[in-house]
Structure 1
Amino acid sequence: MRTGQRNNETHPSGAEPSGAAAADPSTAARLTALLAAFQPGDDALGVSELARRTGLPKTSVHRLSRHLIDHGLLEPDGTALRLGLKLFEIGQLAVRQRGLVDTARPLLADLREATHNTVHLATLEGTEVVYLDVLKGPDAPRLPSRIGGRFPAHATGVGKAILAYSPDDVADTVIAAGLPRISRRTITSPAMLRRQLTKIADEGTAYEREESSIGTVCVASPILNADGQAVAAISVAGWVNRMRTERIAPAVRTAALALSRTVR
């Protein structure tokens, strides 16, 4: 999460302490803020823009970026900076469900080929889903999902599929955190969401109808462990006036059941 303020230990002059202070936890927070300042679609960012986004002094950005460049986490691009390839390598190792992603990829590719729509693999973290894999369909609309991206669970098909097959306290946590409106059709009523989750648990399939973005629909199904609890979910998303969710649902459910056997 991006920080918007300077740390209280910053010197009044704007310079930062050196020496032993370099190992202070605040340094880790500032390094994290600097990397997290990059957003989807960003290529290279200048020092001034990084300072604006993080709230850090330019002198701090210069000093910290040198450390990140030395370790391959940032790369210079003229007078600007871009994320380094080392981050990609670390990110690949950090995916806890790496085996699931590799196993799911052929099934996801088959779904995309059969439907020409976008296929997702996602897991739940806190109140949001994290997309582990996204295969964009040639006929599909532009969607807010991306690999590594997050989205409020209650406004997605994969999120509702996972919540329906999770312990009650997981859904309670999501509801207690609030159900923000993402589009005019987003479910913001706790009672309505609970009713949907009960129906999903009975049928094994979740639907999202223009709840994450107007003009799109989605059908999803959970990937279950040996205890019958969701560890992830897959979905197919497309245009509301083109995609027949009732026709695609059996294929999504079958793929999810096949993947469920790999995690047991």
Structure 2
Amino acid sequence: MAGNSASAGRSVTSRALAVLGAFDARHRRLTLTEIAGRAGLPVATAHRLVGELVGWGALARTPSGEYVIGRRLWDVGLLAPVHSGLRELASPYLHDLYGATLATVHLAVRDGLQVLYVDRLSGHASVPVVSTIGSRLPLHATGVGKVLLAHAPPEVQEAVMGSLTRITPYTISQPGRLRRQLEAVLEDDHATTVEEMTLGACSVAVPIRAGTQVVAALGVVVPTLQPRERDRLVSAMQVAARGVGRHLPSVSDGDRVDFR
């Protein structure tokens, strides 16, 4: 009863947002009961709101009876400047990089303690890739994430170091070892991973700068990573990253730039 009385004081908008907020990277498919529980709503209220959201297209119901985020909400999300600004500027360079490498290409930004994938072009090689446009993954286990983490404020680095989840047997989960890798990223101006996010997948990533500040990262995913191949990929990505950076508003270290 306490939960019901608490939810009674919430506006319709806040309840609808709570329903949508029940979904995240680990909860992409939810039953009505699960939505109600995660949103802190009575099942009857959740049922009504879910029905309206399905009707509008924000949610969709699967054949098994579970609910997923609907296409219309995704279409609206793509209008956000983090997508329509940076993504549009970078698109020609991503396609050039894809044409030169035929590998899966990623464009990403840091979102708090995670890496947010703004754009992705799927490569020809059969490489397991878990990222999707709009998904968020750990900073410490991805190439683009390591680039962004190396250039992140100290408080962000400390927060990440305090919670290094091991995703595969090769994920770097020792703070000291990760710190050394981040120092190498700053020195070499690129990051690599070897099966740290997904078995059978390696990655290389470089920073994208607006003026002197790193605002995004560009990465590719490949099945293996030999030194000669890595150097070839880094050279191609740095050309693309500089191309994107030339079209971004110039900012200095300490300034904030937010494409959202």
Shorter-chain TM band = 0.7 to 0.9
Aligned residue for 1:105? 91
> Which stretches of structure 1, 4 residues or more, deviate above 6 A after TM superposition?
76-79
Higher mean alpha-carbon deviation, 158-167 vs 197-206, is at: 158-167
Q: Specify every segment of 5 or more residues in structure 2 that has no aligned partner in the other structure, as ranges.
A: 251-260
Is 2:241 the counterpart of 1:259? Answer: no
Aligned residue for 2:4? 10
Q: Would the aligned equivalents of 1:218 and 1:245 in 2 still touch at CA under 8 Å? A: no
How many residues end up aligned between the 2 structures?
A: 244
Match of 2:115 among 108, 115, 129: 129
Is 2:58 the counterpart of 1:73? Answer: yes
Equivalent-residue separation in structure 2 for 1:116 and 1:131 (angstroms):
19
Q: Which has more radius of gyration?
A: 1
Q: C-alpha displacement at 1:159, in angstroms?
A: 0.8
Q: Would the aligned equivalents of 2:128 and 2:200 in 1 still touch at CA under 8 Å? A: no
Equivalent-residue separation in structure 2 for 1:161 and 1:35 (angstroms):
28
The amino acid across from 1:74 in the alignment is L
Aligned residue for 1:50? 32
Aligned residue for 1:27? 15
Equivalent-residue separation in structure 2 for 1:65 and 1:85 (angstroms):
15
Larger RCO: 1 or 2 (CA < 8 Å, sep 6+): 2
Other structure's SS at 1:257 match:
helix
Aligned residue for 2:202? 217
The amino acid across from 2:172 in the alignment is I
Quickly say closer, same or farther: Cα 1:38–1:89, change in 2 above 3 A: farther
Q: C-alpha displacement at 1:77, in angstroms?
A: 7.4
Root mean square deviation of aligned Cα: 3.0
1:163-202 equivalence runs, <5 A: 163-176=149-162, 178-202=163-187
Per the normalisation by structure 2, the TM-score is 0.81
Aligned residue for 2:219? 235
Equivalent-residue separation in structure 2 for 1:203 and 1:79 (angstroms):
49
Which string of whole-angstrom CA distances, capped at 9 and with x for unpartnered residues, describes residues 76-128 of structure 1?
77895664443123201224252211111111112112212100000111111
Aligned residue for 1:96? 82
Q: Would the aligned equivalents of 1:124 and 1:232 in 2 still touch at CA under 8 Å? A: yes
Q: Would the aligned equivalents of 2:97 and 2:236 in 1 still touch at CA under 8 Å? A: yes
Quickly say closer, same or farther: Cα 1:244–1:53, change in 2 above 3 A: farther
Aligned residue for 2:258? none
Match of 2:148 among 153, 162, 174: 162
Q: C-alpha displacement at 1:234, in angstroms?
A: 0.5
Per the normalisation by structure 1, the TM-score is 0.80
